[in-house]
Structure 1
Amino acid sequence: MPTLLHIDSSLFPADASTSRAVTATFRKEWEAQHPDGTVIYRDLAATPLPHLDGLAAAAAFTPAEQRTPELKAAYALRDTLASELEQADTVVIGAPMYNFTIPSSLKAWLDHVIIAGRTAMAQSSTTAGTPTVVVASRGGGYGPGTPRESFEFVLNYLDKTLTEMLSLDVEFIVPELTLARTNPAMADLVELSDASKARAHDEAAAKAKTLATRFAA
């Protein structure tokens, strides 16, 4: 049976997080298609990963048989996280915009799983082609033609990192204006916000169903 890797990085619980709510919709539909499938779940806010340090970085460039006990210990987490990604037939990632970019917890995950010669910068990446859906929510509007278009560093960064480094097959779902119901200054954008969220949930369910059919028995 297929495996889904589900990653959330929002600081807030599901009832206050659009990215969590939409990834949950994706997962619910995926599980409905494959009730006996496997789900690997990483909540990077509830259980943060340590930042990549010098030992863990060096370990990846040291042949396994030459690693000292310290290097082996430092590499263990990277190996676990990379293995989870390698096992996945589908990946869904919640990536809310914080201060115009991704949460630091998600950056830490990326730093661990991007391993030169294995998942990245290899003739044949071990994660190449894995379908990946990223829910890139944001409190305001940052699309083409908007006043803050130049402040958008989430889609550009993740597209390059996930496709160029990890060779994943990436699609984005982008619910915008998520702060409209809590920010009085955005009161006139509530209708657009609600429509964006509804569209995101519909897209998530549709993409999950489509991807799940690839592994139908």
Structure 2
Amino acid sequence: MATLLHLDSSLFPGSASASRVVTDAFRKAWEEQHPEGTVIYRDLATDPVPHLDVHGASAGFADPATHTPEQAAAFAGRVKLIEELEQADAVLIGAPMYNFTIPSTLKAWLDNVILVGRTAGENSSIKGKPITVVASRGGGYSAGTPRESFEYVQRYLEAALTDMFGAEVDFIVTELTLAHSVPAMKDLVPLAEASRSKALEDAASKAKALAERLAATGS
């Protein structure tokens, strides 16, 4: 049965997080299609992975036989995360926007799993893997809006996941999430509700379609 690697990175728990609500909807729809499947879950906010340090980074460019004890330990942690990614049939990532870009905890995970010559590059071990990203943001950053140029969540992840991994990346977006709590945005509440509803619909339909597709290929 198929394996889903599910990553959340929102600082906020449960329903207080716009991205977690949508990733949860995706995961539930996925599990309905794969009741006997496996979900590997990482909450990067409550259990962050170590930021890449000099030992882990340098080990990625050196022959393992030459690793120092510090390099070996750091690289072993990277390999564990990489193997989780490689063994998953599909990946789900919750990516809220903080200060125009992704949370540092998600960046730390990416820094660990991006390894040139293995997961990144022409012969990437992740090439073609379906990755669904739930991008949430407090304001409006869609094409044609005044803040479009400040959107660095989708732009960055598209570059990292598509250009480096060669993965098949799909985005589900929910925005204007602060409309209910910021008085100046009260007139945008209907648009925020519509965006949330669309994201939840997309999560359910895309999870089902992806699960069915993988089942058809024997994953």
Q: TM-score, normalised by structure 2?
A: 0.96
In the alignment, structure 1 residue 179 sits paired with structure 2 residue 178? yes
Looking at structure 2, the residues matched to 45 and 129 of structure 1 have their Cα atoms a distance apart, in angstroms, of 27
**Counterpart in the other structure of 2:127:** 128
SS across alignment from 2:137: coil
Equivalent residues in 2 for 1:1-217 (5 A)? Answer: 1-121=1-121, 123-216=122-215
SS across alignment from 2:96: coil
Shift of 1:45: 0.2
One-letter code of the match for 2:78?
R
SS across alignment from 1:119: coil
CA RMSD of aligned residues (A): 0.9
Looking at structure 2, the residues matched to 173 and 42 of structure 1 have their Cα atoms a distance apart, in angstroms, of 19
Shift of 1:143: 1.0
Shift of 1:48: 1.2
Q: TM-score, normalised by structure 1?
A: 0.97
One-letter code of the match for 1:150?
S
Q: Deviations over 1:110-137 (max 9, x none)?
A: 000000110002x311111111110010
Q: Deviations over 1:90-117 (max 9, x none)?
A: 1110000000110000000000000011
Query: Where in structure 1 do 4 or more consecutive aligned residues deviate above 3 Å?
Result: none
Q: Deviations over 1:27-63 (max 9, x none)?
A: 0000010011111111000001221001000111112
SS across alignment from 2:136: coil
Ranges in structure 1 where 5+ consecutive residues have no aligned partner = none
User: Higher mean Cα deviation, 171-180 or 61-70?
Assistant: 61-70
SS across alignment from 2:57: helix
Looking at structure 1, the residues matched to 68 and 3 of structure 2 have their Cα atoms a distance apart, in angstroms, of 33
One-letter code of the match for 1:43?
D
Shift of 1:15: 1.2
User: Higher mean Cα deviation, 140-149 or 197-206?
Assistant: 140-149
Q: Deviations over 1:152-198 (max 9, x none)?
A: 11111110110011111001011110111111111111111011001
